[in-house]
Structure 1
Amino acid sequence: MEPQRLTGPEAGALKYDVLTALSVAGLNGSQTLQTSLMRLIALITARYNWRTNELSVGQRDMARMWSVNERTVKREMKRLTQSNLLICKRSGVRGRVGAYSLNFRQIAALSESSWSLVGPDFDHRMRQRYGEEEVKVVQLKTYVRPTEPDRMPSPTPGTWQNAMANLAREHPNLFEAWFTRLRFVRFEEGVLRLKAPSMFVQRYIETHHIRLLASVLEAELGPIDQVQFES
C-alpha cells in the first residue's frame, strides 16, 4: 500500500518514518549502501517537493551538495533508479533537469529487516502502513549485518554462493535490496527451492526480478525449469 497523503496533518510522521527507514537501512548495510542512502536522504530533506511528490535537482547542484563531481552524480542516480528507490518521471536530457519520485514500497522492502531495531512502535506502524501480509520479526540479538560484496570470501564456482557473489558484484543495489536475505534450500531435477524473508519480498522478486535471478543461477547451477519459494 502506497502512502496516500504526502501533505496535511499526518504527513510529518510519514516523512520522518521514511527518513528513519532509509537511515537505519543504510547504517545496517554495506558501505556502498550507506553512501547511496545518505546522498538520497540529503536530496529528500533539502529538495523533495512533497506536494507534487517529485524531486527535481540539476546534476551540478547535486554534485555541490554531495561534494563530488557530476560523473559521480550520474553513477549514483543510475544506482538509485536501477534499485527502484527512485522512479524516473522525466529524463534529464538536452539541458532539462530530470524529475524523480520516491518508491515507497521499495523503501519499505529495503528497510523492513531494520524496523524492529528502531522499536516495536515503529515496526508496527510501518507494517500497518505498507500492508505487509506476512512478517518476519528480526530481533536485535539475531540481526546480522549484511556482508559487503567486496569483503565476501571467494566462493566455489558452480555454487549458490558464487552466483550470489556475481549478482552482488554486477547489481550491488539490487542485491542489497532484494537478494541478500534470500536463502538457498535445494536444487533437484531442475527445480530450485528458495526461502524469502517475507511474502512481500517473495512476491516482488517473482514479479520483477525472477528472470535476472534465474539467469545468474543458471550460469552456476545449470538449467532451471522452475523456481519455488518455501514458507
Structure 2
Amino acid sequence: MAVTRPVGQGASARKYDIISAIGAHGLAGDKVAQRLALRLITLITARYNWARDELAVGQREIARLWSVDERTVKREMARLRDLGWLVLRRQGARGHVSSYALNLPAILTSTQSHWAAVGSDLSDRLAGPVPAGTDLNIIPFPAPAPIAPAEGRWARISDRFRAEQPALHAAWVQPLVLESEDSDTLTLVAPSRFHGSYVRTHLLDTLQRLCRAEVPGVSALFITPL
C-alpha cells in the first residue's frame, strides 16, 4: 500500500480517494459510524491543511461546524484518536488550539475492505504503487525500522493473525518484535508509542485469544514501545 501525503502533482485526486474511502467505510456501518465519518469528512474538507499535514482548530469552531455542543466534539475527537485516524501533535493550551494530523496508514487499513464498493479504480490507486510522473517531492510517511523475523511461539501467533486479518497484520502486527518470553508471558516491542497504544487498544484482545489458542500456558501478553 503506497502511503504518501497528497501534495504535489495528483494531490487533488488523492484527497478525493481518501475522503471516498472514509465515506464508503462509514456508510457500511451503523448510524454512529456514519455520523462519525460525515463529521470527519466535513472537518477535513473545511479545515485540514494538507500541505502542512495539520488540523489546528478549536472545539468551539468544530462544534459550530458540526452543529453540536463542545462535549460532543470532545467525545468524537477522542473516538477518532482511539481509531488511530487522528494523531494529537500538540495539546491545546491557553491561546493555542490542539493540533492533529491524519494517520493515513491507519485510515487506509481500516477502510480497505470497503474500497471495492467505490470501484476497482479506487482500490488500484490506493493499493498500488505511486504512478509514474508523480511529483518526486512528495514526502512519504516514515518507513518503519527493519523488522526482525519472528520465531517460535510468536511467529505462530503472528501467522494465525495474518490468516484472519491480513491487512491489519501487515500494518500493525508484523512490525511487532518479540523482546522476551517465559513459560507464561510474551513481551513484544512496538516501533513507536502510538503504534503500541493502537495495538493495545484495538488488537490486544484478538492477540491474546490467538496466543491462548496457540500456547495454552501463556497467560499474559505485553506490548511496549521502543
Shorter chain as normaliser: what TM range? 0.5 to 0.7
Identify which of 161, 164, 169 aligns with 1:202: 169
The structural deviation recorded for 1:40 is 0.6
Question: Does the Cα contact within 8 Å between 1:3 and 1:129 map onto a contact in 2?
Answer: no
After the TM superposition, which residues 61-140 of structure 1 pair with which residues of structure 2 at under 5 Å, given as runs?
61-129=61-129
Letter matched to residue 3 of structure 2: E
**Structure 1 residues 20 and 214: CA distance shift in structure 2, 3 A:** closer
Letter matched to residue 123 of structure 1: S
Structure 1 counterpart SS, 2:55: coil
Letter matched to residue 42 of structure 1: T
Structure 1 counterpart SS, 2:88: strand
**Structure 1 residues 129 and 41: CA distance shift in structure 2, 3 A:** farther
Q: Deviations over 1:129-175 (max 9, x none)?
A: 58xxxxxxxxxxxxxxxxxxxxxxxxxxxxxxxxxxxxxxxxxxxxx
CA RMSD of aligned residues (A): 3.2
Letter matched to residue 79 of structure 1: R
Alignment-derived partner of residue 204 in structure 2: 212
Identity %: 38
Alignment-derived partner of residue 3 in structure 1: 4
Gaps in structure 1 of 5+ consecutive residues = 131-190
The structural deviation recorded for 1:95 is 4.3
Gaps in structure 2 of 5+ consecutive residues = 131-156, 177-194, 222-226
TM-score, normalisation: structure 1? 0.62
Work out the CA distance in 2 between the residues paired with 1:51 and 1:101. 11
**Structure 1 residues 214 and 7: CA distance shift in structure 2, 3 A:** closer
Q: Deviations over 1:201-227 (max 9, x none)?
A: 113342442672268749x98864699
TM-score, normalisation: structure 2? 0.64
Work out the CA distance in 2 between the residues paired with 1:111 and 1:126. 11
Work out the CA distance in 1 between the residues paired with 2:33 and 2:82. 13
Letter matched to residue 77 of structure 1: M
**Structure 1 residues 83 and 14: CA distance shift in structure 2, 3 A:** same
**Structure 1 residues 53 and 225: CA distance shift in structure 2, 3 A:** same
Letter matched to residue 31 of structure 2: Q
